[in-house]
Structure 1
Amino acid sequence: MNGMPLENPRHRIAVLADQCVQCGLCLPVCPTYALDGNEAESPRGRIAIAAALAREQISPTPELREPLDHCLGCLSCQRVCPAGVKYEELLVETRGLLGPATERPGLLLGVVKRPGLSRWLLGLARLTRATRWLGRLLPGGSHGPWRAALTLIRGRPGPHPGPPRPNRSGGKADTVAIFPGCAASVQDADAERAAETLLTAAGYRVTRLPAFCCGALDLHDGAIRSAEAAADRIRQAWAKVDADHLVTVTPGCLSTLRQALPDVRVDDPYRLLAERVDQLSFHPLPARVALHMPCTQANVARSDAVLVQLLQRIPELELKRLPAPPYCCGAAGSHVLQFPERAAQLRESVLSQVDILDVHWLLSSNIGCRLHLAAGLDERASSLPTLHPLTLLAQQWIPS
């Protein structure tokens, strides 16, 4: 699914690793290197491990693969690499060679990847307040995946826009298909409604694909067969819709969607909205907000500047962007469940920056990041609301 020769993945890994010139420019932007100060926990350290594994110079012991499992896949290193190392491909191929880690929370991820089941369980948990008493049943010092999952699903629902209005722009409108995803279709339903509202207001016709997992969780955990099955499902779903563009409100899905549909324009909604921004007007909002830029939005979607421009269209809004890498929140797909203590350490660095800014809202466009940050705020007994940027834009949108 990466356009790689599957018949010899070891050779492919070695070729990718040989592109690294060991310059070290990746070190200052690597969150795990900043956390540990350990060469093995840096991009070039992981590249060296991957190369040695591919050439069968070393055996994949648990201690040796741990730095590879710790990698967040933020791709800040790939963005600054002067040699053009394809680090994402290298990481995915190496994890595929090793297979999923034994500590991978497969049961929890199975629930997350099934939106219908996840929605039912989430509704039941909130109705019965089960997250509270289940949390009390776990050992006080427990920091395992189940406790991490419980903290994440205590999400605080935010405001949501009304139903989209019909497109009255006249003429032929481009059709945009929204990919709901798995966790996003449940926990970010407000943002998806907001995307539909704004895209319709901008003159696009909007349709939806079914809600299912794009395969990113499996792909980055080394479960290649499951990831390939998800890619096939994406292609089948896309073939059934008549659309010009595919968008997702969660940038964590972008890479796998683009790999599955290389000939389709796949993006987050911001670029499409920016192309017709003159059709959108917004109510003033005299507030100060912090903007957390998920790594995937900055390094995969690369739409961070466009998002900032859209938010600046809201009159009187004071926008404070959180610092760039190595400040990663630590959510990173299944990383927050598999390594909750490390994820909490990384999150603390981000929240300390939020404290400095003294804001009224915290915005983040990736559902995993926002749930993780909201859980950290809850632990601090903070009432700071977290919101998807699209939800805020739709909330301030002036219907014509």
Structure 2
Amino acid sequence: MPENKSERLAALADQCVQCGLCLPVCPTYALDGNEAESPRGRIAIAAALAKGQVPVTDDLREPLDHCLGCLSCERVCPAQVRFGELLVETRALLGPAPRRPRVLLALATRPAWLRAARRLAGWIGLSRRQAWLAGRLPERSAWGAALSLAATPLPSTPSGFSAVSREAPTLAPVALFPGCVGSVDDEDAQQAATVLLEAAGHPVIRLPAFCCGALDAHGGRTAAAARAMQRVRNAVQASGASMLVTVTPGCLGQLRAALPGVRVSDPYALLADRAGELGFRPLRQRVALHLPCTQLNVARSGEALQTLLARVPELEIVPLPPRCCGAAGSHLLEFPERAAALRVPTLEAIDTLAPQALLSSNIGCRLHLAAGLAERGKAVPTLHPLVLLAQQLVSGSPP
């Protein structure tokens, strides 16, 4: 790594004052009780690597590979350590992890391939053959985890939502970034975002579907991440929009890094600003609300989402405790056993609440939780909050 990058990484690490306030909010420290699996432990490792004080070994890089990138530590840090930047730059120094499931990640980041794989899974009845196939794979392997996700399809919703006719002022156009996995498994959420934003007065320009580069950036593949970021810039420039939204908060950090001069968010803040223009039909249902780490710590839109859901008459919203479910991008494939252990408290909370549906904005979290519920024999519909809001949206003036 060039000297200036080493110096930058060392400077990021040196911001840490070792106060330990990050420890109670770190999911991996709670799981392992090991200082190396804490934010300040990882910062110490990053500093030693940047200063050339230690060689790269498997034991040294493992805590860095285990990090979920949830950024709960960054949110509570009194020294304002930019842990997300530090993590990405340290992984760039280390390079891709040896156990990185390259074939699976290549599939996940190519929407056309992923869509074809989804169709194939349906044709062969993968959900019926899962147990037989799982018995022939190593327990908690990357392929076993992928099989579990693929064999647990998300509940289907109508292919479209009713058009809303309302005299709303035309506001600034918004570019909608579909992403990679989200463009396939969150197609209904993309449609829902379009319906809701246009009802609120924002024309929507849908961009082509491709990966934003987040998986590559967090996997140490710097050049591939840079190419994806340039593709994002080109697509937004061609759209002519001054704002970009995504229904997958896991993409937000990478999109903001690619577009420093553009407002990038999930749709909730824009919709909450125009909540008076939106009316919803009553829905007598109890739903558990899961707020993904990136929605809490990057988008910081949990309050806006709850404000919107509260406008649906008779809907009972029960927030789940704020903690990482273990999906964390490619983590659920690279470390399926750890991801399953991190998921347990959230699944137990869902069991206790006994909701009629589970809402979560992040496709990785929703697939991971749906697979865990299926393993427990629980039939809880899981859907994107935007889908529920679009289903309940009414035409005409709001009540």
TM-score by length of 2: 0.96
Aligned partner of 1:219 in structure 2 is: 217
Aligned partner of 2:273 in structure 1 is: 275
Q: Tell me which moved more, 85-94 or 171-180.
A: 171-180
- Whole-Å separation in 1 of the counterparts to 2:377 and 2:256: 39
Query: What displacement does 1:94 show?
Result: 0.3
- How many residue pairs get aligned? The number is 394
Aligned with 1:380 (options 366, 376, 381): 376
Aligned partner of 2:247 in structure 1 is: 249
Query: What displacement does 1:133 show?
Result: 3.1
- Whole-Å separation in 1 of the counterparts to 2:2 and 2:207: 29
Superposition pairs of residues 123-138 of structure 1, within 5 angstroms: 123-130=119-126, 132-133=128-129, 136-138=132-134
Aligned partner of 2:92 in structure 1 is: 96
Q: Tell me which moved more, 70-79 or 388-397.
A: 388-397
Aligned partner of 2:232 in structure 1 is: 234
Deviation string for 1:275-295 (max 9, x for gaps)?
111111111111111100000
- Whole-Å separation in 2 of the counterparts to 1:85 and 1:252: 20
Aligned partner of 1:144 in structure 2 is: 141
Which 4+ runs in 1 deviate beyond 6 A?
A: none
- Whole-Å separation in 2 of the counterparts to 1:15 and 1:129: 53
Q: Tell me which moved more, 234-243 or 150-159.
A: 150-159
Partner SS, residue 113 of structure 2:
helix
Deviation string for 1:101-131 (max 9, x for gaps)?
0100011000010001110110111121135
AA matched with 1:357: L
- Whole-Å separation in 2 of the counterparts to 1:255 and 1:345: 26
Aligned partner of 1:329 in structure 2 is: 325
AA matched with 2:139: S
Aligned with 2:356 (options 353, 357, 360): 360
Aligned partner of 2:196 in structure 1 is: 198
Alpha carbons 1:190, 1:391 under 8 Å: kept: yes
Q: Tell me which moved more, 83-92 or 162-171.
A: 162-171
Aligned partner of 1:50 in structure 2 is: 46
Deviation string for 1:138-189 (max 9, x for gaps)?
4365211101011112222332473463765355432111100000000000
- Whole-Å separation in 1 of the counterparts to 2:260 and 2:251: 14
Alpha carbons 1:103, 1:338 under 8 Å: kept: yes
1:302 aligned onto 2:331:
no
TM-score by length of 1: 0.95
Alpha carbons 1:284, 1:315 under 8 Å: kept: yes
Aligned partner of 1:9 in structure 2 is: 5
- Whole-Å separation in 1 of the counterparts to 2:318 and 2:2: 45
Unaligned runs of 5+ in 2: none
- Whole-Å separation in 2 of the counterparts to 1:124 and 1:161: 20
Partner SS, residue 290 of structure 1:
strand
Superposition pairs of residues 280-299 of structure 1, within 5 angstroms: 280-299=278-297
Query: What displacement does 1:13 show?
Result: 1.1
- Whole-Å separation in 2 of the counterparts to 1:69 and 1:141: 21
Aligned partner of 1:266 in structure 2 is: 264
1:369 aligned onto 2:365:
yes
Aligned with 1:24 (options 20, 27, 41): 20
AA matched with 2:377: A
Partner SS, residue 240 of structure 1:
helix
- Whole-Å separation in 2 of the counterparts to 1:287 and 1:164: 21
Deviation string for 1:39-98 (max 9, x for gaps)?
000000000011111111111101110000000000000000000000001100000000
**Cα distance, 1:354–1:137 mapped onto 2, change above 3 Å:** closer
- Whole-Å separation in 2 of the counterparts to 1:282 and 1:315: 7
Aligned with 2:386 (options 386, 390, 399): 390
For the aligned residues, what is the CA RMSD?
1.6
- Whole-Å separation in 2 of the counterparts to 1:308 and 1:172: 25
Partner SS, residue 283 of structure 1:
coil
AA matched with 2:5: P
- Whole-Å separation in 2 of the counterparts to 1:27 and 1:89: 19
Question: Percent of aligned pairs with the same residue?
Answer: 60
**Cα distance, 1:6–1:312 mapped onto 2, change above 3 Å:** farther
AA matched with 2:395: P
Partner SS, residue 137 of structure 1:
helix
- Whole-Å separation in 1 of the counterparts to 2:28 and 2:90: 18
Q: Tell me which moved more, 249-258 or 167-176.
A: 167-176
Aligned partner of 2:116 in structure 1 is: 120
**Cα distance, 1:284–1:172 mapped onto 2, change above 3 Å:** closer
